[in-house]
Structure formats: C-alpha cells, structure tokens
Chain A
Amino acid sequence: MTTFRHLTWMLIAAVGLVFSTSQSQAQKRPDADEPGLVADDSYELDPQFRKQVVYYRTSEAPGTIIVVTAERHLYLVQGNGRAIRYGIGVGREGFTWQGLVNITRKAEWPDWTPPPEMIARQPYLPRFMAGGPGNPLGARAMYLGTTVYRIHGTNRPDTIGTAVSSGCFRLVNADVADLYERVPVGTKVIIRQKPEL
C-alpha cells in the first residue's frame, strides 16, 4: 500500500516536472510550490543571491537570523560587523508577514504536507509528498515557531530572488544545508518587510 502510494506521488512528481518545465517556457517564473526537479548545480544564481560574507551592522546577537524580504536576502549575524548573506525566494503578495519567531524544529529532506489553506488555494497540489529531490521543500527545513512557515530548500533554484512561495523562505539546497549546520533549534529569526506606504 505504502509502495503504491509512493509510486502515485512519484508519478505526480513526474507529471509536475513535465508540467513545470513546459510552463517555464511560456512563463519565466513558475509557481514555486509544485513538485518537480531542477538540480542546484544546473542553475547559476545572480551574483547578489550567492552566499557571501558581507558587512552588516546590527544590535542583534551573533547567531540570529534576519530575513529581509524586500531585498530577498537572509542574514546570519556573525558579530564584529558582519553576516553571512544568502539569497532567498519569498512569499507572493498577500502572503507577506513580519515579526519575531524561533526555529522550533529542524528536518533533513523533509516530507511535505501542504497545509489546508494551501490546498484550498491550489487544489492540484498533492496531499502528501515524501522527502527527496523533487520535493519543493528541498534538502532541509527549519520550522518557524508554531506557524506553517519554514525556511527550506527548493527544487526550483531559479525562483531565488523572486516572490512566488506561500510565505516560506526558500534557499538553494547547498545554502539551506549550510545554514542548517550553523543554526540550532531555538535560533531567533527576525523577519522584516518593506514599509507600507
């Protein structure tokens, strides 16, 4: 039964892959919440979204994560006026939020159970998808507070720098794995949005 279920989802993943590939021809920025697989190394990130150490002045303690959605950057504060900066993909308009949360759980190659509100918006999504390449959550996930939001990897590195997710923050798999090693459960995560007019 489980095998059969897995097969079904693999089939859906395959269809999703074909679908998203054909979609990406017509529309450059496809929906990021669909199954499919684009390997990290097949896509070259824009220089501003590649992982790098930058000057960053802040009163937040080293080890704090600061997500700046308008910039599409995630900073891991290092102290001494610097931070490691990663490129991210962020939530679509209408799925933006701001505040302070903590990392409550970490998982490698997480399974994906789209929450009911996502299913309601995108009924074509699978109800469950086992972790692995092709899963939109990618290689790692860090769960934010008690929310349905996460910092996670991706099967679509071409969506880094864009606003396409359902409110989560996505990094390329190599970056999310790097971040995962550096932050423990309990890490403070500050999310900043651009000001409203």
Chain B
Amino acid sequence: MLRTFTGGLLIGLAVAIAVAAAAITYERYDTKTLKRTVKRGEVLCGVNAGLPGFSIPDDKGNWTGFDVDFCRAVAAAIFDDPKKAKFIALDANERFRELQNRKVDILSRNTTWSMSRETNYDLYFPAVAYYDGEGFMVPASRKIDSALDLNGSKICVQEATTTKLNVADYFKANNMKYEEMKFNKLDDVVKAYNEGKCDTFTADVSQLYALRLNLAKPNDHIILPDVISKEPLAPVVRQRDDDWMMIVKWTLYAMINAEELGITSKNIDEALKSKKPDVMRLVGTEGNYGEVVGLPKDWAARIIRHVGNYGEMYDRNVGAESKLQIPRGLNQLWSAGGIQYAPPIR
C-alpha cells in the first residue's frame, strides 16, 4: 500500500516536473512564429516610435522608413503584400523584453548588434541591415575631408556616452590632441556647435545627417567620411526559431543580391524572363529555395516587386532620394566601394 502510494507520488512528481519543464521550454523557446504570423495574417514589427529615415508614422498613421520597409519586405515574402505588416512602437528599454514576450515577431528598430544583447536576451540578429558608426560634423568652411585633420580641435561631446569614449580612443590612437566641451544633452551639444562654440561634434553618422537638417544652414556643414566605431544595426528575432530567423535573414540577403544583380522593382518583370542562372535562382524561375523555410518559389521576386532591392530601400529612405541624403558609404555593395555583402542564393 505504502509502496503504491510512494510509486504514485513519484509518478505524479515526474509528470509535474515534465509539465513544468514543458511549460518553461514553451515560455523560453518559440518555434511557431511563421505559423502564428500566417494565421494572424500580418507580421508584427517592433519599430522606433519616430526616427526620420528609419521609422516614423505620418498623421494618418502610415509608417515609412528603412526599418519599416525591411519589415514590409518580410511581409511581402510571406503574403505577397507589403501592407500585411503592423507596426508597434517600442521604447529602447522595453524592446528586447517585448520581443521575448511575443508582442512582436521581429524587431526592426535601429538596434545595434552586440554579443551581450544576443546572449543575455536569448535573441538572434540575423544580418546587418545598416552599418552605422560614429562620425564627425564640421563646418564646410574648414575645408578638411578627414577626421585625421581634426588635431587640436575643440569637440562638443555628450557626457556619459560611448561616443565620448570613442573620441578619446580615436584621438589617442592617432596621436592627436583635442579639447572637450561637455554637455548633458545631445540637444545642447548641437546647439553649442551651431553657435560656433566648438569646431566639431560627434554622434552616429545616421544621427549627424538627421541633426544637420535642423541647423541654421545645413549646407554649410559636412559630415566627414570617417567612421570611428562599429554600430551594426540589425533586425532581431527570438532564438531557437530557426525557420523564422532564416526568413528574416534571407529577406535582407535577397534584397542585397538583387541590387548586385541589377534587379529592381522597376525591372522585376524583365528579370523573371532572364536566362542568367543567378538571376533565375533569385527570382525563383529556377530551383525552389524558399520552400525549405516555408515560403513560396517567388518569395524574393515578391520582395523586389513590392519593396525593391537594398539600394532602392536605402535611397528612398535615407539616401539620395530622401531628405537625409546620407551617402551609401559602408552600406554600398562590397563590389562598389562599401561592405554590404550577401551570401549567394544557390
């Protein structure tokens, strides 16, 4: 009797542990993002609440920007419809937790990829969408074109930031001297620079171009081509959902490969008739590369048709056709002066 009772207790305990373990596993590891997304009929995208060029809503609630377009590209691959993406503004503080809580399927929110973020939060950054990094703005009248010409400059910096530390490292490494003017807020840094209190100021390059728009005479200032730190911005997904991670990763790589092959939203129909093997593999007229991750044959063609290739996405939102006018720089293709490089689709 006692033995049966103990046995029952043990079995019960084992079941309880198994259930609890299953629950914990379920909590920690989600492997059904694509399934839920398809059932829901839209991709949930975590974005910045308002960052010109990257993600910003208009007064009618229509979102535009580089990060927004990337999420639309994922929607285009899955639904053949870039509108099937819903944008959810997330704070910097809550973004990783909200992704873990499955409030969003993907974080496309100017987020720097670093090791601790990937490991501490059980997240995965599939690929670099935008290479940002710290740079310098100077008055065009100074006639300098390299950060190495900044020796002896008075630099406006923001207190307690990595940008300040990067400047210290960069100047030390290059045997240059500078004088620091410290401010608590970035706005005050910009104001001091605008009033001519310092020779240059520093921030991430994408930020410098946005801040320049607010200066009294934007065209009187240039952003030096040098980038002195690494801020690789990447989309983010949960770990252990490999199919979903693959979809996000190859959406970006399809866009980069499309630019390299000269396929655009304007000539996609022509590309579908192409007899060039690498073009055919990308647009899906040869092989079936989407199937393995649960996408149709023409997944990449859908992305290119609805959103465009990487260069189109860049130019429209942050590049030559946008207000920001950020040169391609590091984000140019590896074959055209930059470092954007996608593994081949084959």
A: which residues have CB within 8 A of B?
Answer: 46-48, 52-58, 68, 70-71, 75, 80-83, 85, 192, 194-197
In the complex the two chains form, is B146's CB within 8 Å of A82's CB?
yes
Excluding A54-B329, A55-B327, A195-B261, 17 further A-B contacts by CB distance (< 8 Å) are A47-B320, A52-B222, A53-B145, A53-B146, A54-B225, A55-B226, A55-B227, A55-B329, A57-B334, A57-B337, A57-B338, A57-B339, A82-B145, A83-B337, A192-B336, A195-B260, A197-B270
Alpha-carbon distance between A195 and B276 when the two chains are bound, in angstroms: 11
Q: Which residue of A lies closest to B330 (CB)?
A: A55
- Whether B101 is near chain A, meaning CB under 8 Å from some CB there, is no
| Chain A residues whose C-beta falls within 8 Å of the C-beta of B271 in the assembled complex | 197
Q: Is A53 a contact partner of B225 (Cβ separation < 8 A)?
A: yes
Q: Mark B139-151, 1 if CB is under 8 A from A, else 0.
A: 0000001100000
Which of the residues B145, B262, B325, B334 comes within 8 Å of A195, measured between beta carbons? Answer: B262
- Complex Cα distance, B145 from A83, in Å, reads 10
A57 CB contacts on chain B under 8 angstroms: 334, 337-339
Contacting pair A54 B327 (CB below 8 A): yes
B262→A196 contact, CB < 8 A = yes
In the complex, the chain A residue whose C-beta lies closest to that of B338 is: A57
Contact of B262 among A46, A53, A82, A194 (CB under 8 A): A194
Within 8 A of A (CB), among B214-243: 222, 224-227
Q: Would you call A56 and B337 a contact (CB within 8 A)?
A: yes
Asked if B267 is at the interface (CB within 8 A of a chain A CB), the reply is: yes
Chain B residues whose C-beta falls within 8 Å of the C-beta of A192 in the assembled complex: 336
A81 to B263, CA, bound (A): 28
Task: Provide the bound-state CA to CA distance between A80 and B337, in Å.
Answer: 12
Q: State the Cβ distance, B288 to closest chain A Cβ, in Å.
A: 21
Mark each residue of chain B from 317 to 346: 1 if its CB lies under 8 Å from any CB of chain A, else 0. 001100001010110101011110000000
Residue of B nearest to A53 (CB): B145
Q: Among B262, B270, B271, B330, which residue has the most Cβ atoms of chain A within 10 A?
A: B262
Q: State whether the Cβ of B255 lies closer than 8 Å to any Cβ in chain A.
A: no
A197 touches B338 (CB 8 A): no
A85 neighbours in B (Cβ, 8 Å): 327
Docked pose: A75 CA to B225 CA in angstroms:
14
Q: Please tell me if the beta carbons of A197 and B267 are within 8 angstroms of each other in the complex.
A: yes
Q: Which of A47, A48, A58, A197 has a CB less than 8 Å from the CB of B276?
A: A197
Q: Are B270 and A55 in contact (CB under 8 A)?
A: no
On whether the beta carbons of A197 and B262 are closer than 8 Å, the reply is yes
State whether B338 touches A55 (Cβ < 8 A): yes
**CB-CB < 8 A to A68: which residues of B?**
336
Say whether, besides A57-B337, A57-B338, A47 and B325 are in contact (CB < 8 Å): yes
A55 to B146, CA, bound (A): 10
